[in-house]
Amino acid sequence: MAEPKLRYSKQRETIYDVLKDDETHPNVDTIYMNVRKVIPDISLGTVYRNLNLLADQKRILRLDVGDGVVHFDARITPHYHMVCDECGAIRDLFLDEALISPLIDKVQDICDDQIRSAEILFHGTCRHCLKKKS
């Protein structure tokens, strides 16, 4: 059964537009501060509720990168993420599915479950932090 379509909301579309223009994978507080530049009287609760609605409708992604904070991503095309262990930056990685499919196939071979997809989170040091170190 398909999810019911949400009624249009200027606030929700503004929140989506703000997130769409931010490739840093911000958390709700950062999104809230940026949305307030457009809608000064919006509440944190409204931003949080609408981010969750957008995620439930699969228009955005919720990301848990292990830092205790939920991050959001408006890019919903298949991709992966790299988290810098030094500065915490989250970067999109676009990997050829020819790299990932054999991994999923191997996991499928060793378990009795049916694997549909994989969420792979890479950790390391970003190029900016590497540059600072050298």
Give the DSSP per-residue string, 28-93.
Answer: HHHHHHHHHTTSTT--HHHHHHHHHHHHHTTSSEEEE-SSSSEEEES--SS-EEEEETTT--EEEE
Assigned token pair, 130: 């590497």
126 annotated to bind ligand: yes
User: In this predicted structure, what is the pLDDT of residue 80?
Assistant: 94
User: In this predicted structure, what is the pLDDT of residue 4?
Assistant: 61
Please tell me the CATH code under which domain 1-74 is placed: 1.10.10.10
Per-domain boundaries in the chain: 1-74, 77-134
87 annotated to bind ligand: yes
CATH 3.30.1490.190 assigned to 77-134:
yes
Which position has the higher pLDDT, 71 or 100? 71
User: In this predicted structure, what is the pLDDT of residue 1?
Assistant: 52
111 annotated to bind ligand: no
In three-state secondary structure terms, 124 is: strand
Mean pLDDT, the chain, whole residue set: 93
pLDDT tens, residue by residue, 80-111: 999 999 999 999 999 988 988 899 889 999 99
84 annotated to bind ligand: yes
What's the pTM?
0.86
